[in-house]
Amino acid sequence: MMKKDILIVGVGGQGSLLASRILGALFLSQGLDCKLSEVHGMSQRGGSVVTYVRAGENVSSPMVSDGEADLVISFEALEALRYAHTLKKGGTLVYSTQEIMPMPVITGAAAYPDDIASRLAAFDLKVLAFDAESAAEKAGNGRAANVALLGAASPIIGGTPEEWEAVIRATVPPKFVDVNLRAFALGLEEAKKG
Amino acid sequence: MKGTVLTMKKLMLGNEAVARGLYEAGVTFASSYPGTPSTEITEYFSNHEDVHAEWAPNEKVACEAAFGASLAGARSFSAMKHVGLNVAADLLYSVSYTGVNGGMVVAVADDQGMHSSQNEQDSRNHAKGAKIPMLEPSDSGECRDYAKLAYEISEKFDTPVFLRTSTRVAHSQSLVEEEERVLPPKKPYEKNVAKYVMMPAMARPRHKIVEERTKKLAAWAASSGLNKIIPGSEKIGVIAAGIAFQYAKEALGDRATYLKLGMVYPLSAEEIRAFAAKVEKLYVIEELDPFIEDFCHAAGVECEGKSLFSLCGEYTPAMIRKAILGEDSPAPAPAAIPVRPPVLCPGCPHRGIFYVLHKMKLTVSGDIGCYTLGATAPLSSVDSTIDMGESVSGLHGFLTADPSMEDKAVAVIGDSTFVHSGITGLINAVYNQSNVTVLILDNSITGMTGHQQNPCTGLTLQNKPTHALDLEALCHAVGVRRVSTVDPYDLEKTEAILTEELQAKEPSVIIVKRPCALLKWVKRLPPVSVDPDKCRKCRKCMSVGCPAVLFSKETGASIDRTLCVGCGLCEKLCPFGAIEGGNA
């Protein structure tokens, strides 16, 4: 039975809602049942945020239990480490190496870890890390980092290039379609590099 | 009243689906006060042309307006978060007695896990207290279905109806099938003193009607198909509703038989006894209070619930699998890393005022909104935050009990929160003569819930121009003679006004005015920059807790150019002129 349990994580305000809606549209176009769970309100103010995307023949809970996710897409390096434990053994983590300092680090109460990559290696995961913001800037707009990450994760998510193009066209405002399609392609190249 | 199915299924937020249900049910009047996670219901509903939707100053006013619309014959609606229901409860406990004319539904969104709330109260207790039936959908499809059904129940049983959601239902998306809108014939208003004037002689017979109605509703729910049995192994029986049902289904699949309740109040003892007799072992799975479980015990039904599950927070399927099947989750431990709590945004007007309050070491009576974050490090200025409006009325009590604090304590309250529940507290302080100093943080919007208009902004829910409440005139009218206005980014002037008003031997109000930095019409300025040669690494710029100002021991301060909006606050704080380019 086809089943996809995905987390999209990052810092409030980074655009995870658009990414989850593109995924929702993709799974719907594939005829699957799908549930998304979003975060609104106080946590959106620069806090750690998570959006769940679940697809399958029949989805009950809109959320994914720890240790059961197939894929985590993170917009930020520290958040990748924060949610690594939600992946199942052998699950895939795709993350942007961008670093955003949380307030305890800014105030000097804590340090931003400088060993994220090696600590991730302690989890039994497939990891793909790249600078999604730079890739998006190369595509024409840094705000398209979310779609670059989707491109990088697309081999795990499934879907044909035509299906992806169709859902991006249907979800993104018309004037940003081209830049997002380019960002998606650049993300996919990162995945092919491995 | 079944409409024609319109389109293929769509992915919809639970809140959008409730709004769709309202529209299809022919609702024409909605009045609400924003509150996470309920806010988007009224926003989605307002997108329709042929309805009236509005933001009211608070939930009590909203519900009273909805009742008025019902009395006039319209199908009416109000939405609120769980704590908003406390505000509206005054009306609802009595509208339970009067009943309705046009159907009236009140959506209440609980916030298990407190993602954006000050407590975790279980609103089902209000259904029982007010004796108002409560439906609880478990996904977006049911949000739409139950919203429509609620109007049929409301009119059939002559009662307001609660629609209870939770964060994970309100803010999750799942599939919804849309139907056409069907407008019911408008009911004429008929004067009926015995029904609608709740003085003792009329209320006594109405109470008897309420008790009879509750019995009929329980029997109806048991036979209507709203409560469903979902068959599986009869070794395990589960009673659940709402999101907890989805978790249970995920965890146990067909290893259990379920009684899925669509109506969580009133409950039918006969229905539950009959279900209990079918299964070997019965569990009640419900987040927060043992509401259904207590009912089962009182009905003499043996079951397990809170002996296995917490009274606090959200559940997960893994938690249920472990408690009932003894199957432990294989999840590794989370990494021990710095937390990332929510923060005031770069350019936030509240940062200026909290910097000054912190600097002056004042005791700050806080309130509900983005500015609650003024309690967090490094601004650390707020001493208490309880409910909407308590900052003002609480400070009055505080200073009356300890007048020595008069020149050391202030209240801070947002514009929308002040209109919601701060005005009466201010009237009380003037009337009972305490020397409060109240800061109204006017950022020209209701911020935390995602930018809703309010009576101060001069715009309606639909962004149409309307009268803008004049805060200064209002404060004068209630008897506050000392009213001043200041820009919180003018740090010196803010401190000077505060010093002066704290000394005043009468109540004063300072309107701290600067728009929310996230508003579209607020100009984002080019980012500031740090001259590394001038930076002496004194960390003064770090004292305002701006996410865009970074610091390293080696190189000193630097600016995250993608986050900085050029507000210039850090520039003003730098004693060495190392930060430049802002709007200082």
Beta-strand pair B134-135/B161-166 = parallel
Torsional class of B537: left (φ above 0), alpha (ψ -120 to 50), beta (otherwise): left
Burial pattern B468-499, b for ≥16 Cβ within 10 A else e, equals ebebeebbeebebebbeebebbebeebbebbe
Overall domain count for chain B: 4
User: How distant is the Cα of B299 from the closest Cα of chain A, in angstroms?
Assistant: 30
Contact B455, B474 (CB under 8 A): no
In a domain, B191, yes or no: yes
Helix/strand/coil (H, E, C) string of B346-410? Answer: CCCHHHHHHHHHHHCCCEEECCCCHHHHHHCCCCCCCCECCCCCHHHHHHHHHHHHCHHHCCCEE
State how far the Cα of A14 lies from the Cα of A137, in Å rounded to an integer. Answer: 15
Same domain membership, residue B358 and residue B488: yes
Same domain membership, residue B175 and residue B34: yes
Contact B33, B55 (CB under 8 A): yes
What is the structure's pLDDT at A1?
Answer: 56
Chain B residue with minimal CA distance to A102? B340
B contacts of A59 (beta carbons < 8 Å): 174
In chain A, the percentage of residues whose pLDDT exceeds 90 is 84
Can you give the CATH number for the domain in which B551 is found?
Answer: 3.30.70.20
Q: State how far the alpha carbon of B30 is from the alpha carbons of B85, B282, B557, in Å.
A: 16, 40, 50
Q: State how far the alpha carbon of B12 is from the alpha carbons of B6, B16, B500, in Å.
A: 15, 6, 53
Beta-strand pair A3-11/A69-74 = parallel
Q: Which helix (H) or strand (E) holds B215?
A: helix B200-223
Can you give the CATH number for the domain in which B134 is found?
Answer: 3.40.50.970
In a domain, B331, yes or no: no
Sort B460 into a burial class: Cβ within 10 Å, 0-12 / 13-18 / 19+.
middle
State how far the Cα of B481 lies from the Cα of B128, in Å rounded to an integer. Answer: 46
What is the structure's pLDDT at B1?
Answer: 46
In a domain, B341, yes or no: no
Same domain membership, residue B266 and residue B143: no
State how far the Cα of B383 lies from the Cα of B374, in Å rounded to an integer. Answer: 10
Instruction: Pull the structure tokens for residue B321.
Output: 């699998």
Q: State how far the alpha carbon of B183 is from the alpha carbons of B20, B76, B186, B445, B537, in Å.
A: 14, 12, 8, 34, 68
Spell out the alpha helix ranges (H) of A5-62: 16-29
Same domain membership, residue B169 and residue B290: no
Measure CA B212 to chain center: 33
Domain boundary among B458, B478, B513: B513
DSSP label at B113? T
3-state helix, strand, coil in chain A (%, to 5): 50, 25, 30
Using only the alpha carbons of chain A, give its radius of gyration: 16
Same domain membership, residue B394 and residue B267: no
Q: Is B54 helix (H, G, I), strand (E, B) or coil?
A: strand
Instruction: Pull the structure tokens for residue B384.
Output: 């208490």
Q: Give ipTM to 2 decimals.
A: 0.94
Same domain membership, residue B51 and residue B149: yes
The answer to whether residue B499 neighbours chain A at the CB level (below 8 Å) is no
State how far the Cα of A102 lies from the Cα of A113, in Å rounded to an integer. Answer: 11
Tell me the residues of chain A between 57 and 96 that have a Cβ less than 8 Å away from chain B.
59-63, 65-68, 78-79, 81-82, 84-86, 88-89
Tell me the residues of chain B between 555 and 574 that have a Cβ less than 8 Å away from chain A.
560, 562-563
Q: Is the dihedral of CA B113, B116, B121, B126 positive or negative?
A: negative
For chain B, give the longest Cα–Cα distance: 82
Written as one letter, the residue type at A128 is: L
B185: CB partners within 8 A, 6+ apart: none
State how far the Cα of B258 lies from the Cα of B236, in Å rounded to an integer. Answer: 9
Q: Do A78 and B448 touch (CB under 8 A)?
A: no
What is the structure's pLDDT at A12?
Answer: 83
3-state helix, strand, coil in chain B (%, to 5): 40, 20, 45
Domains of chain A: 3-193 (3.40.920.10)
Same domain membership, residue B489 and residue B420: yes
Same domain membership, residue B543 and residue B421: no
Cα three-residue angle B461-B467-B470, rounded to 5 degrees: 115
B459-465, long-range: CB within 8 Å, 24+ apart, which pairs?
B460/B54, B460/B55, B461/B42, B461/B43, B461/B46, B461/B53, B461/B54, B461/B55, B462/B46, B462/B53
**Number of residues that this document lists for chain B:** 584
In a domain, B518, yes or no: no
DSSP label at B133? -
Q: Kindly give the parts of chain B with pLDDT less than 70.
A: 1-7, 582-584
Query: Which one of A42, A46, A105 has the shortest CB-CB distance to B338?
Result: A105
Same domain membership, residue B163 and residue B49: yes
Query: Which one of B36, B377, B562 has the shortest CB-CB distance to A40?
Result: B36
Same domain membership, residue B267 and residue B298: yes
Task: Tell me the backbone φ, ψ of residue A64, rounded to 5 degrees.
Answer: -110, 130
Instruction: Pull the structure tokens for residue B259.
Output: 């009684």
Q: What is the mean pLDDT of chain A?
A: 93
B225-229, long-range: CB within 8 Å, 24+ apart, which pairs?
B226/B135, B226/B149, B226/B262, B226/B263, B227/B259, B227/B260, B227/B261, B227/B262, B227/B263, B227/B268, B227/B271, B228/B258, B228/B259, B228/B260, B228/B262, B229/B257, B229/B258, B229/B259, B229/B260, B229/B275
B347: CB partners within 8 A, 6+ apart: B517, B522, B524, B565, B566, B567
User: How distant is the Cα of A4 from the closest Cα of chain B, in angstroms?
Assistant: 14
Among B116, B117, B173, the strongest candidate for a mutation testing the A interface, having the largest count of A CBs within 10 A, is B173
Same domain membership, residue B171 and residue B45: yes
Tell me the residues of chain A between 119 and 178 that have a Cβ less than 8 Å away from chain B.
119, 123, 133, 142
Q: Do A102 and B339 touch (CB under 8 A)?
A: yes
Prediction pTM value: 0.96
In a domain, B20, yes or no: yes
In a domain, B575, yes or no: yes
pLDDT in tens, A97-140: 999 999 999 888 999 999 999 999 999 999 999 999 999 999 99
Average pLDDT score over residue span A170-187 = 96
Sort B355 into a burial class: Cβ within 10 Å, 0-12 / 13-18 / 19+.
buried
Task: Tell me the backbone φ, ψ of residue B581, rounded to 5 degrees.
Answer: 100, 0
Tell me the residues of chain B between 229 and 248 that have a Cβ less than 8 Å away from chain A.
243, 246-247
Using only the alpha carbons of chain B, give its radius of gyration: 27
Torsional class of B450: left (φ above 0), alpha (ψ -120 to 50), beta (otherwise): left
Beta-strand pair B161-166/A3-11 = unpaired
Same domain membership, residue B124 and residue B98: yes
Domain boundary among B200, B223, B246: B223
Domain boundary among B513, B544, B569: B513
Single out the residue of B248, B324, B326, B236 nearest to residue B281, CA to CA: B236
Beta-strand pair B281-285/B236-241 = parallel
In a domain, B519, yes or no: no
Chain A residue with minimal CA distance to B334? A85
A-B contacts at Cβ under 8 angstroms: 187
State how far the Cα of B394 lies from the Cα of B196, in Å rounded to an integer. Answer: 35
Contact A153, A7 (CB under 8 A): no
Structural domain boundaries, residue B317 = 228-325
Torsional class of B430: left (φ above 0), alpha (ψ -120 to 50), beta (otherwise): alpha
Chain B residue with minimal CA distance to A142? B562
In a domain, B342, yes or no: no
Q: Is B431 helix (H, G, I), strand (E, B) or coil?
A: helix
Among B337, B380, B543, the strongest candidate for a mutation testing the A interface, having the largest count of A CBs within 10 A, is B337
What is the structure's pLDDT at B332?
Answer: 85
B contacts of A111 (beta carbons < 8 Å): 338
Q: Is B236 helix (H, G, I), strand (E, B) or coil?
A: strand
